[in-house]
Amino acid sequence: MNKLLIHPAAKPVLFTLALLPFAQLLWGAIADTLGANPAEALLRGSGDWVLRFLCLTLAVTPLRDWAGWTALLRHRRLLGLYTYFYAVIHFLCYAWLDMGFEVGDILRDIPKRPFILVGTAALLLMTPLAATSFNRAMRTMGPARWKRLHRAVYAVVLLGLLHFFWMRAAKHNFGEWAVYAAVVAVLLGWRLYKWRAKPAKGRRPMAGGKAGQVT
């Protein structure tokens, strides 16, 4: 697996695969194949991929440790940036399809609906993470300050789960949410266990790696 992950074609292949869900949604909108409610399909589809890419990004370090796939680390930044990309697409779908890009209506609507408020908060938290996901930003900020900032990813994933939970609460359908919650619980629980298992003097913040790579 490590040989495949360090192959020169690995990053272009991953980039293309990560773009396919967006291409599928875009083509569905153009070809009118998204069903009876295309607006909901676009909102749900883009939102689902935000959570999926969050989980994939957070899974890199556990997979490195459990399976020995150390070369996964070189692809974590790409996964993180695609998480932000789909979050922006998700918000734009809401701003366009629900609100018609009326800025005043959007600003009034966000604080009225808790699930939109927490989703917007998650997007705002992700923005500085995406903006500082490059090596130059880490060198400018310094590793310690950069790591403290990028620990916000844990708040982002919890806000994302809460956003999804409130969305599903209206239909009393929590099956899909429970799957995401279980995956996140394993990924964050493993980090907490590993951190607590370290001697007190040897503990470090639960984030690190190269720029754009949250552990």
Instruction: Find, among 106, 123, 132, 131, the residue nearest to 157 by Cα.
Output: 123
Pick the more confident residue, 214 or 123.
123
Kindly state the greatest CA–CA separation across the chain: 59
Residue by residue, DSSP assigns 132-162 as T-SHHHHHHH-HHHHHHHHTHHHHHHHHHHH
Q: For residue 200, what are the contacts with CB-CB under 8 A and spacing of at least 6?
A: none
Residue 206 pLDDT more than 50? Answer: no
Instruction: Read off the pLDDT of residues 135-164 as tens digits, 9 standing for 90 and up.
Output: 899 999 999 999 999 999 999 999 999 999
User: What global pTM score does this model have?
Assistant: 0.89
Instruction: Read off the pLDDT of residues 44-82 as tens digits, 9 standing for 90 and up.
Output: 999 999 999 999 999 999 999 999 999 999 999 999 999
Alpha carbons 91 and 52: distance in angstroms, whole number: 16
- Centroid of chain to Cα 101: 24
All structural domains of the chain with their residue ranges:
2-202
State mean pLDDT over 183-207. 77
Pick the more confident residue, 44 or 168.
44
Instruction: Read off the pLDDT of residues 88-110 as tens digits, 9 standing for 90 and up.
Output: 999 999 999 999 999 999 999 99
